[in-house]
Amino acid sequence: MGIHLPSFSDVERAAERLRGHVVRTPLLHSPQLNALAGRQVVIKPECLQHTGSFKFRGAFNRLCQLTAKERAAGVVAWSSGNHAQGVALAAQLLNIPARIVMPADAPQIKTRNTLALGAEVVAYDRYSEDREVIARDLVMRDGGTIVPSYDDADIIAGQGTVGLELLQDAEPPEALLVCCSGGGLVAGCALAVEGLNADTAVFSVEPAEFNDHERSLRNGIRERVEPGSTSICDALLAPTPGELTFAINQRILAGGLSVSDEEVLLAMGFAFEHLKLVLEPGGAVALAALLSGKVPEHYRSVGIILSGGNVDPAVFAAAIKAVSNSQSNP
């Protein structure tokens, strides 16, 4: 039996479920960014979404469809932080118990916010333990429904409402840059582009050390990240594309791009200085790809999704310092 892939109609139904529950984030334009990029840029700041990232969209779309019996049994998820907060808020709103398996070294702001939203946090060592195994063991022991962070049709459809809104609220750009870890957001946005017949080339953007999508799209198979790889982009550390997400992305995406940690820090600083936005590293990769000249020049208009803003102070301070250093040493 083949896998069930979500479709554009699933994205449309997700948008109906989410109406009145999510923030329809605005589209922003920046003369400074247009001048630097040499093209027109439209910005979708999902850092202004509930819980500070797009993840609430997929989480609410998944949880609101649970039966009364499933809700009473609770949900279990694994996450480096943004999906955790999205699930925690959705669960709080729907009165569903939630347990989240999170790395012990997750940004403190993400752990604190998840706890504040009423979820139980189960910490694990990301370098020696398997979060999915821990989550499945919890369900086997105590019951509940697993809510995957990306490889789930309802999660993908919910995330796709980001792209749907962008395409409804602006002229479709010639290229769309979307941050990528497991691939749920970019897959959902790709479905929106395909469903609206938009002439838009969709690109995934990843940290250079975690460019499994870029390599997978190039080679036609699901590649894995090398063991021991590191990046400041704590939200984008999935080791391989999802089964569902890669099936969609392989069919629709124009390609994959990757950026260095230094380019990410500079993009965070640019967003703070010129866009007046606070971004976390993973939320800034699309902007970083544009600022660092990774986008082919023939795309004269570009959409970028700034996917999250949950950043610890020390990392944000490093971004401001990186910008200051670059201005002192042009």
Q: Report the 3 state secondary structure along 281-309.
A: CHHHHHHHHHHCCCCCCCCCEEEEEECEC
Q: What tens digit of pLDDT does each residue of 250-261 get?
A: 999 999 999 999
Q: Which of 63, 153, 68 is nearest to 117 (CA)?
A: 63
User: For the residues of 233-269, what is the DSSP string, one character each?
Assistant: -GGG--SS--HHHHHHHHHH--EEEEE-HHHHHHHHH
Q: What is the mean pLDDT of the chain?
A: 96
Q: What tens digit of pLDDT does each residue of 134-185 get?
A: 999 999 999 999 999 999 999 999 999 999 999 999 999 999 999 999 999 9
Residues 106 and 63 in one domain: yes
- Across the range 24-45, mean pLDDT stands at 97
Residues 202 and 322 in one domain: yes
Residues 200 and 287 in one domain: yes
Give 63's contacts (C-beta < 8 A, 6+ positions apart).
71, 75, 87, 90, 91, 94, 96, 147
**Which domain range does residue 74 map to?**
56-146
> What's residue 126's pLDDT?
85
Does residue 1 belong to any structural domain of this protein? no
Residues 192 and 128 in one domain: no
Burial letters 294-316, b for 16+ CB under 10 A, else e: bbeeebebbbbbbbbbbbeeebb
Q: Which of 190, 153, 148 is nearest to 2 (CA)?
A: 153
Q: Cα dist. 17→56, 69, 256 in Å? A: 12, 20, 31
Does residue 112 belong to any structural domain of this protein? yes
Q: How confident is the model at residue 29 (pLDDT cuts 50, 70, 90)?
A: very high
Residues 71 and 164 in one domain: no
> What's residue 310's pLDDT?
96
Residue at a domain's end among 116, 146, 176: 146
Residues 207 and 177 in one domain: yes
Angle (nearest 5°) at CA 323 between 36 and 183? 70
CA distance 100 to 83: 9
Q: Which pTM does this prediction carry?
A: 0.96
Does residue 289 belong to any structural domain of this protein? yes
Residue with tokens 């998840």, as numbered in its chain? 114
Give 171's contacts (C-beta < 8 A, 6+ positions apart).
301
Does residue 174 belong to any structural domain of this protein? yes
Does residue 2 belong to any structural domain of this protein? no
Residues 142 and 231 in one domain: no
Does residue 3 belong to any structural domain of this protein? no
Beta bridge partners of 308: 53
Weakest-pLDDT range from 52-61, 202-211, 216-225, 226-235: 226-235
Q: Which of 285, 282, 281 is nearest to 319 (CA)?
A: 281
User: For the residues of 199-238, what is the DSSP string, one character each?
Assistant: --EEEEEEEGGG-HHHHHHHHTS---PPTT---S-GGG--
Residue with tokens 């012990």, as numbered in its chain? 104
Estimate the share of the chain in helix, then strand, then coil, as percent rounded to the nearest 5.
50, 15, 35
Residue at a domain's end among 92, 111, 146: 146
Does residue 30 belong to any structural domain of this protein? yes
Give the percent of the chain with pLDDT over 70.
Answer: 99
Residues 30 and 77 in one domain: no
Does residue 124 belong to any structural domain of this protein? yes
Q: What tens digit of pLDDT does each residue of 68-125 get?
A: 999 999 999 999 899 999 999 999 999 999 999 999 999 999 999 999 999 999 999 9
Q: How confident is the model at residue 1 (pLDDT cuts 50, 70, 90)?
A: very low
Residues 122 and 247 in one domain: no
- Across the range 195-201, mean pLDDT stands at 95
Residues 265 and 169 in one domain: yes
Residues 35 and 105 in one domain: no
- Across the range 298-307, mean pLDDT stands at 98
Q: Does residue 329 surpass a pLDDT of 90?
A: no
Q: How many domains does the chain have?
A: 2
Q: Does residue 330 surpass a pLDDT of 80?
A: no
Q: What is the CATH number of the domain that holds 179?
A: 3.40.50.1100
Residue at a domain's end among 146, 163, 188: 146
Residues 140 and 194 in one domain: no
CA distance 215 to 219: 6
Scanning 95-211, the segments in alpha helix (DSSP H) are 108-116, 131-142, 153-169, 184-195
> What's residue 13's pLDDT?
98
**Is 149 in contact with 236 (CB distance < 8 Å)?**
no
- Across the range 299-305, mean pLDDT stands at 98
CA distance 143 to 199: 45
CA distance 306 to 46: 6
265 exposure class (CB count in 10 Å sphere: 0-12, 13-18, 19+): buried
